[in-house]
Structure 1
């Protein structure tokens, strides 16, 4: 395991290229990365990794990329994505990761804002995205692609296969064999290496400037509480554009030499995951929720005996968990084979972050035997800075701060101790790229103002309530956290997304999106005919199914937080429509504006709401939706007893 005592000396090896050169010298034949391609896992040793990065870096140099410029990265998680990033740092350039599913407008904004000249684009899909933007990318001079499939039909002069880039680099290396190491030696830890986009709630995210040395020192702080080493296996599935995947797949991997594995396709992720059997996993809450929902969906198709065994195992497991122990019987009849089925057998550490994970989902995986911990942080703080320690796991908290001078406090608390969470530590970001105004607004006297509301419990654990701007108050003066209730709803296998309404209204209501893959299976099993998502979500039988799920959640909530009405939306919430961030957080402002007519109709006590709208798919095709939404009354509603609370 990697501990502070056996990590590389970060006062000397303070950048990613320096660490890569170190490992290539000391451990040339050890496997650094693996990628699954055409069903075969292909390893890349530290020596091969180093040689490829060297060729990339010298190739970029020969193409005219200079210190201080920005190199873009667009595509799925691949070794060449990481290699392009480290190569950019080696010549003093900054890397900018762009989410692979970013819309054209987002891509155009980021590339033009940062004056990007060169983009590593993985394949035809990403190349198409860049070429279709045409004159909207005036700074873009070179597009380097790794996957040649489908590329023969293109003749744009900016296109270059990665093999040509490597040839350029090797030619320069042959002429000047010491040049690359000289360049690496000139890299400095305090130079900005990564521009990492914030998740944000607008279509134009800010870019946090992350110096290499600070990133690595923060990763070392993380390793002090969650050690990793060369024997550890990690499967990289979350977008490399996200700060926490940068921490794990790039920073911590380069420090601890844990092996990073890249799956073949998103569709094969869980199969590939199981083949590797990683010792550590980082999933976003939405993925944990999806896995839990999928397990429940599979149980629906199981025999009555297996269903009874599942129910018994979960009952025994959750009872044991509540007593701070594990159930041997539950492990034998359910959890051990289920862990194997999911690829969790070898897990020694597991984490979730990026958004809140509902306590019910958390308990499900803890009972299963997954050593799940919640982490909390922001892009600006190099990702997470709190985590649960050892067995001190609390489902309602995000743990305690890391070691290494990390300070967290709650300011302006109310009578319950709830206030804004602020933090500072030695390794935070260096400000927002070309946006001093935003830097000054978020960083005050060295403290990062997170915009999150929370408090410390009696054990010193940090509890996150919600975004301050999202904490709502009913017209009767009752405060509630929409996110908390939404997470409880999403523990249901039938619920994909939910939006809780009620701010300045007399009661709470909900807009619910069904989990189509599971509800469609349920409908087929019950011989309910349907055609599309919209058609299925309007079926009376589906409404009754979801009514039971919402009522289950209501039974666990205080009376003033219970949902009085709900409806099933005619479409899924989508990041491409601006309704979710790229890390799958609800953009409440967009929801309020886009579905304002529907929301008003709910609170006007209309039992039916007619909808006639058009939705646009990612490929540009459009579909007209004409349907009627049914508003389900769960609880009697009454007018507000107090004046509406001021905004």
Structure 2
């Protein structure tokens, strides 16, 4: 075997030989943490790879993987790469139509699924019945009812691999010897903010070299504990749970269920954590919700120490705030041992960012794109700016294209470790060359400290009909700092003033309503209550006081449902598809900019179980003037 080749299977094999007994990963199953060493991971990868080879999987074949984050996902991915195959990650909550599009695009014949739910999705794709030859399922519960010859259990696959290894123990080494660091190792879906996701083709060499640059900016070692909670199809989780894991040997932990995440975090005590902005916003909202539920004295103590820390960051004040308030808060959410935390994938509002930094959580903002292998800027230690996304990694050039008089323009980047191109589309790949500037489509500028500040999408920066320039994303983040607001879409392009469609944060407001003895039945019923409207008016007033007078929200409505990726209102990485939302709810937008005080709604909404529900309600158009 060529140990000097820079591929993910080679790095992992090296770890298994040099650190065989070190803990590589943990998984919580039925309340118990199960450990795998580097040697155990390597042996399981070998068995899966040999079995796949026996089933006819060849180099450059796409292998689909769908389900929640588990060790089997990681093992299936690296086993596929060991054959020269290309892993295609599919989001666990993706609809059948999205899955069919990507499997058809890549001519995928083999799919790993987590459980019965994911198996159902693949088996329902009648148009791909002849294309998909093998479906490997992990959880065996409920699978006995199927009689499809394409189905095989993960355990059975391991048994096949084990028996084949006994006949030829050198087979896996032979497979690795055929790999090249320039081979494509993953098809990574872009966020699909404006259209169907494209597939970025990423090589072993670029993925690992980019991870090395990341580790220079934010070092990790085998002593670090990481909890993998963001979906593995996303490029950032690929960077953390695959390439950085292999290079730094940090321990990767997998929670039992998304609902048990914070209990599991407390048990592991991670030293590093990556969460998306929506998760950080939800955590901040939950903390403030619990504070509201607490006694009068506790609420006043929280307010006092929070205000003290925000105004005075001296050593004595930090020690006081840590001992009297923040230590217990961090312990309750499992953040006691965090040495580094990050957010990326979309903008995190500066108010939310500051909230966590003041708690003593070493949060840093990341910025990047799938095409550039995820993040390429980050705050350095002790150089955190709430408004910025930090400075570029070594070896990455970032500039502003055609800046205006204020320095604002399109962010462009040149990164030698970028994607190799888009797969299966007619999109020109010239802008993704490692020696040419890549146009991100984001508007930004460099501040006086040379930190990059991202404002919004260039296409979303707009003017009202009164020629007032505004950033919808900035105002939306301001609104979402409220514990009562989950999502917001700001409207105003070529309109006389700014308005917003707001989605309430049901998890918090349902508790608030119970405490205030406000009777309600459903989300839409709660959103229509006068008490909720009055509460949200006060929250929007707070935002209006913090922005220039010409950028205030003059009208808003409380939507009868949450924005949902299944309804194409959000991407799978929870980015708002603003233009789609505005077009979808054009009748509501039209009513906002009329003299109407309300609008009648009679529509069908999609439910998570695939059914539909009819909504008949009346939305009040709330005027802030």
- SS of the equivalent of 1:327 reads helix
Aligned to 2:345: 354
What is the distance in 2 between the residues matched to 1:509 and 1:545?
Answer: 17
1:412-561 to structure 2, matched below 5 A, reads 412-440=402-430, 446-561=436-551
> What is the root-mean-square deviation of aligned Cα atoms in Å?
1.4
**Displacement, 1:605?**
2.4
Distance in 1 between residues matched to 2:365 and 2:193, nearest whole Å: 23
Deviations, residues 264-313 of structure 1 (Å, cap 9, x unaligned): 00110111111101000001000000000000111121111111111112
Counterpart residue number, 2:595: 605
What does residue 382 of structure 1 align with? 373
Report what 1:616 is aligned to. 606
2:274 aligned residue = 282
Q: CA deviation at 1:172?
A: 1.9
Larger mean CA deviation between 285-294 and 600-609 belongs to: 600-609
Quote the residue 2:219 is aligned against. Answer: 227
CA drift of 1:150 comes to 1.2
Q: Which of 606, 621, 625 in structure 2 is aligned with 1:631?
A: 621
User: 2:287 is matched with which residue?
Assistant: 295
Q: Does 1:371 align with 2:358?
A: no
Would you say the 8 A contact 1:500–1:508 is kept in 2? yes
Instruction: Pick from 389, 401, 419 the counterpart of residue 392 of structure 2.
Output: 401
Secondary structure of the 2:459 match is helix
Find the partner of 1:129 among 121, 125, 134: 121
Decide whether the 8 Å contact of 1:400 with 1:460 is kept in 2: yes
1:128 deviates by 1.0
Give yes or no for the alignment of 1:204 onto 2:196. yes
Separation in structure 1 between the aligned mates of residue 438 and residue 146 of structure 2, nearest angstrom: 46
The structure 2 residue matched to 1:79, chosen from 65, 71, 86, is: 71
SS, match of residue 592 in structure 2: helix
Q: Deviations over 1:398-450 (max 9, x none)?
A: 010011x2111111111111111111121100000122424246669722110
SS of 2:125's partner is helix
State the TM-score, normalized to the length of structure 2: 0.98
Contact kept in structure 1, 2:182 and 2:204, CA below 8 Å: yes
For 1:25, which of 1, 12, 17 is the aligned residue? 17
- Alignment counterpart, residue 84 of structure 2, candidates 78, 92, 101: 92
1:325, CA displacement in angstroms?
A: 8.5
Change (3 A) 1:569 1:117: same
Q: Could you tell me which residue of structure 2 aligns to residue 392 of structure 1?
A: 383
**What's the CA shift string for 1:229-260, capped at 9, x where partnerless?**
01100000000000000000110000000000
Residue 638 of structure 1: aligned partner: none
1:590 paired with 2:596, answer no
- Three-state SS of the structure 2 residue aligned to 1:437 is coil
Deviation at 1:580, TM superposition (A): 0.4
Cα distance between partner residues in 2 of 1:191 and 1:324: 51
User: 1:327 Cα deviation (Å)?
Assistant: 2.3
Provide Cα deviations, 1:329-383, integer angstroms capped at 9, x if missing partner: 2212110111111111111111000000000100000000000010100001111
The answer to which of 604-613 and 135-144 deviates more is: 135-144
Cα distance in 1 for residues equivalent to 2:330 and 2:207: 33
TM-score by length of 1: 0.95
Other structure's SS at 1:470 match: coil
SS in 1 for 2:487: strand
Q: Which runs of 5+ in 2 are unaligned?
A: none
Displacement of 1:171 in angstroms is: 2.0
Contact 2:491–2:499, Cα closer than 8 Å, also in 1: yes
Secondary structure at the aligned position of 2:306 is classed as helix
Change (3 A) 1:441 1:137: farther
CA distance in 2, matches of 1:383, 1:326: 37
Which structure 1 residue ranges, 5 or more long, are not aligned? 1-9, 636-647
* Per-residue Cα deviation, 1:484-518 (whole angstroms, up to 9, x for no partner): 01001111110000010001000000111000011
